[in-house]
Amino acid sequence: MDTFNTVVWWINIAIIIIVGSVFLFQLLFMFLWFLKPRQYKKASKYHDFTFVIRARNEADVIGDAIDSCYKCDYPKDKLHVVVFCHNCTDNTAEIVRAHGAKAVEITDHDPKHQKASYCMYLGMHELKKEPVGTYEYFLLIDADNQVDKNYVLACNDAADEGVVLGRTFENSKNLTDNILSCMTGLWYARDDRFACRARSALHFGCVMNGCCSMIKSEYCLDWDAMSSSDDIEFTINRLNKDKQIVEYIDNAILYEDQPTTMDDVFKRNTRMGNGLNKLFWTRGFTLLGNFFKNLFNPHMKLGTKFSYLDQFWNLGTIPAAFLAVAWFPLYYIYSIVWTAFKGPISIPGLGSYTWLWFTLFVVIVVAACYLVPFLIQPFVSYFAERKRLVVTNKKVVFWSIVLFPSFEIINAVAIVKGILTKPKWAKLKRSKTKIKQ
């Protein structure tokens, strides 16, 4: 057994190095939270914007989303709303038209096409039939979203400075409905505060999100991202195919409905885990290859070069999470049990390790690599962004921060489930909470 224990010890060290290298690259952004993102000058002209909303039986929320768009402080002749009504069996399309928006009704009952990517692909195919130049910029939001009244103005400033792909600030519409919605909302606030701001300051590309996205029409009309994680795939495609990065627009604020039940959290994260894992194995190594290919390219900006590497590691967090969940609990439980009943494990050249050593090691690792960063991030995110977050119950926020590490366990388990299964699209429960402006 000494040989076996030695082999699995070194396997464990190798996995620590692999998982650590992936997450360390992402955690580096945590220490750069104080950096200020790119700021855009006041635009000299008004660009034409069209909100695009993907909807499937969203009669209960679609009217509020459309009204929110039209309430934006922006010239009405430059602001439009289009809703792709995908296989709707309710009166979503009628409500869309009643609220002054354009409804594009899509009927496609192919079981393989029952996902948001085909809704976007088929909807854009219909818009391409209109005269060239009809659309300038698209703003992608979800049917349960609301936007800040200055949302389009902030996007217009970015567009006027040449931004063709943008990601905006993803806020929460129902942050303190309960602890689950708050933890999910803080996760997005953490992403905005740590990941997006730092990337923007360093001129790295951000990750496009399904909602809160600004895209110039020439890139959006020929929609080519067909996976269940089409927003991330779109980001990768624009980087690999067009050498374009996603810029962060910090002053454009969107409010999203966050899940309030464990079932909905799992539905969302299993789909994400499944889609991102597939993207890593099909697109990830192309990103890595393009990083080395363009590393000494004098005509490419440094931030764009490192965006290839950043996106590779970003995708790599999914298989790394799977590897961590699958290996570490089994290995350390085995090691603790072995040393407790069979005696110390001897590693040639490193000495013998007892039950006390392994137990102490596990406690230190959990505290240093898990509890500490995942308590710090939501805490800092909340206090850094508290003026923009909509908080109606501070007790919910307190307990959400305290319990946030458990939320990361839920995310990891859901991701593993998504990798091992084929999750189907399922509608999430909608919150009745609205943003008052």
**Residue 349: its pLDDT value, please?**
65
Q: Is the pLDDT of residue 344 over 90?
A: no
Long-range Cβ contacts of 96-100 (<8 Å, 24+ apart)? 96/55, 96/62, 96/66, 98/63, 99/62, 99/63, 99/66, 99/67, 99/70, 100/66, 100/70
Q: Which amino acid is at 272?
A: M
Domain coordinates in residue numbering, the chain: 1-426
Tokens 């050249």 appear where?
Answer: 349
Q: Which amino acid is at 146?
A: Q
**Helix, strand and coil in the chain, % to nearest 5:** 55, 15, 30
What is the CATH architecture of 1-426? Alpha-Beta Complex (3.90)
277's tokens: 């894992």
179's tokens: 């602890």
69's tokens: 């768009």
Average pLDDT over residues 291-312: 95
pLDDT tens per residue, range 360-392: 877 887 777 777 778 888 999 999 999 999 999
Q: Which amino acid is at 129?
A: K
**Residue 111: its pLDDT value, please?**
83
**Residue 350: its pLDDT value, please?**
66
DSSP one-letter string for 351-400: EEE-HHHHHHHHHHHHIIIIIHHHHHHHHHHHHHHTTTS--S-HHHHHHH
pLDDT tens per residue, range 351-364: 777 788 778 877 88
Rg of the chain taking only CA atoms, in angstroms: 23
Cβ atoms 104, 84 nearer than 8 A: yes
**Residue 313: its pLDDT value, please?**
93
Query: Would you tell me how many other CB atoms lie within 10 Å of the CB of residue 78?
Result: 16
**Residue 325: its pLDDT value, please?**
86
Where does the pLDDT of residue 308 fall: very low under 50, low under 70, confident under 90, or very high at 90 and above? very high
pLDDT tens per residue, range 101-141: 999 999 998 888 888 899 999 999 999 999 999 999 999 99
Instruction: Report how far residue 82's alpha carbon sits from residue 175's, in angstroms, rounded to the nearest whole number.
Output: 27
Which CA distances in Å does 246 have to 150, 158, 202, 399, 430? 20, 11, 13, 34, 29
